[in-house]
Chain A
Amino acid sequence: MTKNTSQGADDLDAPWITQDDLPVKKYQIIDENGEYDPEDVPDLTTEEFVDLYRWMLVEKRYAERMINLQRRGEMGTVGSSRGHEASIVGSGYALNDEDYLLAMGRETSAMLMKGVSLRDILLFWRGIDDAQKFLAQRNCMIGISVGGYLPVVTGIGWGMNITDTDAVVTAHFGDGATSTGAFHEAVNFAGVLNCPAIFYCQNNQWAISTPFEKQTNANSIAQRAVGYGLHGIRVDGNDVLATYHAMNEARELALSGNPVVFEGLTYRREGHSTSDDPTQYRDRDEVEPWLERDPIERYEAFLKSEGLWDEVDEEAMVAQVDEEFDAAIEAANAYGPRDIEELFVYLYEEMPPELEDQLRELERSLSELDELEEYIERRPKG
């Protein structure tokens, strides 16, 4: 939707600029009908083309099973990534192990690609704090404060500059995050300091119930890059090849000291989270067309016309994903035992006496107050 920002400007004498002066294109390789120009296709091996497909299946299957687990009371609140498969996989596939990925929570497959185990993702959504430890070991973090972690991303990029580290840091966030002050300061600051940072907005059109057009008067997130003196791009986030290709270039740009504002245009097919009912605020009419624009089906069409579909044994892939998921659940179920000490010991490197006393007090309550344990619920499982 184009907004009426230029309306009225034509009648004025002074040289006003409007966002219409800088039309932002949507970068696409495979279109909504699965058509593409072979010249635009990135140079990947057959194995890599197939791998992209497999990862999208992983993401999809993971999302479905997480929702099921949540409904069975075996998982805390989760947010489905359905519809985001190309956006997540395309962006994640371009990253290296030493890169940092600070995410909002809808980036499972990108984290798995960085070596995070599926068990640890499950632990995270079960509210088991140790999960962030394991994520951190793979240079990943999930930030729940919307937009709040973007300045941290800038700082990590700044650290990479100071230490001459050959890596990039990427922040994944939603369109809602771009309205926060932290977004503005983080992006502006990264530009001034030439941080190797990629600000990757998965613009899925909805921040819980607030649609993109009520989030900002700007036509796109990508155009904001210009105001900060950064490189910006708006990519069809349902096109895995375009996302991957642009992200790969974004990584090169970031490494050369040019931070990037990257907008992946996609759609959140389901609720914001399992606690959200999207039928309250959006019509089926809006959702339907997006369901038809499934990123996985679009890529399937591409693989077929490239003659690569024979390489894909979808049934075997899903079976393998399910097997891995089953094993991850089993490992998550077996995780533990845990001790209340963990609530206290990690806050400071050395526990202050006050905290030491509070820990002893909790231990005393647990051992002396007969009914206390009964009142302590541990849900969901874990």
Chain B
Amino acid sequence: MPETIINAINMALTEEMDRDERVVVFGEDVAETGGVFRATEGLKDKFGGTRVVDTPLSEIAIAGGAVGLAVFGLRPVAEIQFSGFLPPAFDQLVTHASRMRWRTRGEWSAPLVVRTPYGAGIRALEHHSESLEGAYAHVPGLKVVIPSTPYDTKGLLKASIRDPDPVLFMEPKHVYRSIREDVPDDDYEVPIGEAAVRQEGEDVTVISWGAMMHKTLEAVEKIDVDAEVIDLRTISPMDRETLVESVKKTGRCVIVHEAPKSGGWASEIIATINDEVLMYLEAPIERVTGFDIPVPLLSMEDYYIPHPPRIAEAIERVAE
């Protein structure tokens, strides 16, 4: 039976809680209701109220509490209900989680996971649709992971929970239930820091992640360009090798993300390509992104999102 990304999250959490009793799951509304997206449904019944906890509405304390738990030897998996509520928690991720190992020269560490649904496209209220992965990836010591498929979601979340360092796990909520694929019951990990080549091609490298991965695949299908499509999967630390090897082969590159354009992660990818393989480029690199504005409210939201026609046009232009 094909599974959704939501199911995959639930499978990963269930299996990891079963495997390791140090894993604790908490956040706003995660225990009694299974979270607003039902990602944690059934966990409290299975693992009890000590390991699956509804917290006060306290983003600072959820993230900071996760740091303390991790320092004390537990494996916290905290949920921040929407990525738009991350900014208060950001302080704890920057000031403590990401640097606890560095600060204490390896004596303490903060192996925690903060899960959060991110991105536009579900007609949510203000502050529910942000996509600021570039800002989070800028923090030294914080790993930022964004799956795009159910299979990867399970494997990457398991890898994140087992990772010895703090991971911000951003879930593309726009495709939480619309993408299905077979997800094995087996215990498997998808390694953090490795991009996936979704489709091989010779003409142009197209790099994307999260919900935009699917818009990108749709765009590529509609045009007559032999595109190599890469799913970055981990924003930080970034798999430079896969990107560089692909651009070496194609000589052309388009990057697609829904975060605002200026200072977005596409800039970092372009800089990396310049550093490593500038002389292979046959055309300027283009990026198709959201705009440098807050995500609009629901009536205008779709103007913001990089839809397949915009992506397709950019790929065709670069491939010419």
A residues touching B (Cβ–Cβ < 8 Å)?
129-130, 132-133, 135-137, 141, 145, 148-160, 162-163, 165, 169, 181-182, 185-186, 188-189, 192-193, 342, 346-350, 352-355
Contacts and interface: CB of A to CB of B under 8 A. Distances in A.
A347 B101 contact: yes
B61 A133 contact: no
B188 interface: no
B58 A152 contact: no
B65 A158 contact: yes
Given A145-B95, A349-B165, A158 B105 contact: no
A188 B74 contact: no
27 contacts: A133-B105, A136-B104, A148-B64, A148-B91, A148-B96, A151-B63, A151-B64, A151-B65, A152-B96, A154-B68, A155-B65, A155-B67, A156-B72, A158-B72, A159-B71, A159-B73, A165-B72, A181-B88, A182-B61, A185-B61, A186-B60, A186-B64, A188-B56, A346-B105, A347-B141, A348-B143, A348-B165
Contacts of B101: 346-349
Given A141-B104, A159-B69, A192-B55, A354 B238 contact: yes
Contacts of A154: 61, 64-65, 68
A156 B240 contact: no
A150 B109 CA distance: 17
A129 B107 CA distance: 12
B56 A153 contact: no
Interface in B194-243: 237-238, 240-241
Interface in B69-108: 69-74, 76, 88, 91-92, 95-96, 99, 101-108
Given A141-B104, A181-B88, A342-B105, A348 B66 contact: no
**B64, B140, B165 pick with most chain A CB within 10 angstroms:** B64
A291 B195 CA distance: 64
Nearest to B111: A349
A132 B103 contact: yes
Contact of A353 (B55, B59, B95, B237): B237
Given A158-B65, A348-B141, A133 B107 contact: yes
B12 interface: no
Contacts of B59: 185
Prevailing SS type, chain B contact patch: mixed
Interface string B283-300: 000000000000000000
Name which of A133, A151, A160, A188 has the most chain B CB atoms within 10 A of its CB: A151
Contacts of B64: 148-152, 154-155, 182, 185-186
A95 B128 CA distance: 44
A160 B50 CA distance: 12
A349 B92 contact: no
B165 to A, nearest CB: 5
A155 B60 contact: no
A246 to B, nearest CB: 24
Given A136-B108, A137-B107, A156 B164 contact: no
Given A135-B104, A165-B72, A182-B92, 10 more contacts: A145-B96, A151-B60, A152-B64, A152-B71, A159-B69, A159-B71, A159-B73, A188-B56, A346-B106, A348-B237
Given A155-B67, A182-B60, A133 B104 contact: yes
A350 B141 CA distance: 11
Nearest to B70: A155
B55 A148 contact: no
Contact of A352 (B65, B72, B237): B237
A182 B69 contact: no
Contacts of B61: 151, 154, 182, 185-186, 188-189
Nearest to B165: A348
Contacts, number: 144
Interface in B39-71: 50-51, 53, 55-56, 58-61, 63-71
Contacts of B104: 132-133, 135-136, 141
Instruction: Decide if the interface of chain A is mainly helix, strand, loop or mixed.
Output: helix
A123 B164 CA distance: 27
Interface in B102-140: 102-109, 140
A157 B74 contact: no
Nearest to B51: A162
B72 A189 contact: no
Contacts of A151: 60-61, 63-65, 67-68, 92
B35 interface: no
Contacts of B305: none
Contacts of A145: 91, 95-96
Nearest to A193: B53
B34 interface: no
A65 B299 CA distance: 66
Nearest to B24: A162
B72 A160 contact: yes
Contacts of B309: none
B101 to A, nearest CB: 6
B68 A159 contact: yes
A148 B98 CA distance: 14
A189 B65 contact: yes
Given A181-B88, A347-B141, A155 B107 contact: no
A151 B106 CA distance: 21
A129 B99 CA distance: 12
Contacts of A347: 99, 101-102, 140-141
Contacts of B66: 155
Interface centre among B50, B56, B101, B107 (most CB of A within 10 A): B107
B95 A148 contact: yes
Q: Which 9 A-B pairs have the closest CB atoms?
A: A155-B68, A151-B64, A159-B72, A352-B237, A133-B105, A136-B107, A155-B65, A185-B61, A189-B61
Contacts of B68: 151-159, 169
A133 B67 CA distance: 17
B56 to A, nearest CB: 6
A254 B108 CA distance: 24
Nearest to B88: A181
B130 to A, nearest CB: 19
B106 A192 contact: no
A349 B68 CA distance: 18
A41 B91 CA distance: 44
